[in-house]
Amino acid sequence: MTAMLKLLHVYPQVAGKCVHMACMRICTVFALCAGLVACGGSPAPSEETLAIRDYTRIASNATHILFTDWIDRRPGSTGPERVSVDCRGEYCEAGDSETLYANRVVSVDPEQITVLPDTNGISTGIENFEGFGIEAHNFVGWMKYGFFASSSRTYVGESHPDRGTIRMFATAIGDAPLTNPEMEATWTGFVSARDDAAVTAFDSYVTGDARISVRIGEQVMADVHLTGMVNATTGQRHGDLVYEDMAVTGGQFSHHHAENDRLSGVFYGPNHEEVGGIFEHPQGLLGAYGGKRD
């Protein structure tokens, strides 16, 4: 079902107050459904309404969040600046002041969403958001238990201290049992990523195929292959990313070679039906991926 990129936006919280996801508009969860559900005699629910229901459910039940670091490009800077993000299961700490929660449910305007055809059986969409001093673009995929997205936002507010800064990041959230798969299997899905070389085009995103497999032996081992990646805007192709022989512990796995060369993943659903994760690669790619078990 496509339903929509109704992105569940995970909003950061500072001192108990929501920091406009404008700053983080990723995780847009559609809490608008209450007023959109068709009643007796009303037209059938729209695709957007169905998506809102899906997203609200995913966000409400999410128990785990993964976030890449935030990569900032400031006006006049000679290179990117990195804001470290430290994730700890149900929440992440970004920099010195922001907390991002897995189950943060917020509303989103359906008019800001474009539903795309399913990709490898996974719902897909785009969200363009303008307001509160930012412009944001999110390329998202969602399943039954989890969703993943890559995002770019530009600070455009006249009085914003970061005016002109472009920030890229990616995230994955879902209902994670934190237990290991007990049988060998393969999960198929797709990639949502950002290309540092195209950072000034905030709506430029990269997509490709994701294949995640598990082997059972003395340890449970995971392999992740991200292939066929191409920039949907420029047509530029990127090399395949292959991460193999990662030990799975508590339903999670990771590869960490350097701050710009790493991947994390976690299984979602009571029977590990889905998987999602994030990555950053020296090719200049930063993104998220997800898949369903074949």
Whole-model pTM? 0.86
> pLDDT band for position 9 (50/70/90)?
very low
Q: What percent of the chain has pLDDT over 90?
A: 64
Q: What is the DSSP string of 128-161?
A: EEEETTEEEEEEEEE-SSEEEEEEEEEE--TT-T
Q: Which amino acid is residue 148, in one-letter code? A: F
Which of 78 and 18 is assigned the larger pLDDT? 78
Selection from 4, 6, 65, 25 nearest residue 278 by Cα: 65
The CA distance from 95 to 113, in Å, is 29
Q: What is the pLDDT of residue 241?
A: 97
Reply yes or no on whether the pLDDT at 24 is more than 50: no
State pLDDT tens for residues 73-116.
Answer: 998 888 899 999 999 999 999 998 899 999 987 676 778 888 89
Asked if the model's pLDDT at residue 173 lies above 50, the reply is yes
Tell me the HSE value of 274 on the side-chain side, using a 13 A CA sphere: 26
pLDDT, tens digit, 9 for 90 and up, residues 232-270 = 988 999 999 999 999 999 999 999 999 999 999 999 999
3-state SS assignment for residue 37 = coil
Least confident range of 103-112, 120-129, 280-289: 103-112
* Measured CA distances, 101 to 21, 113, 241, 251 (Å): 12, 22, 29, 19
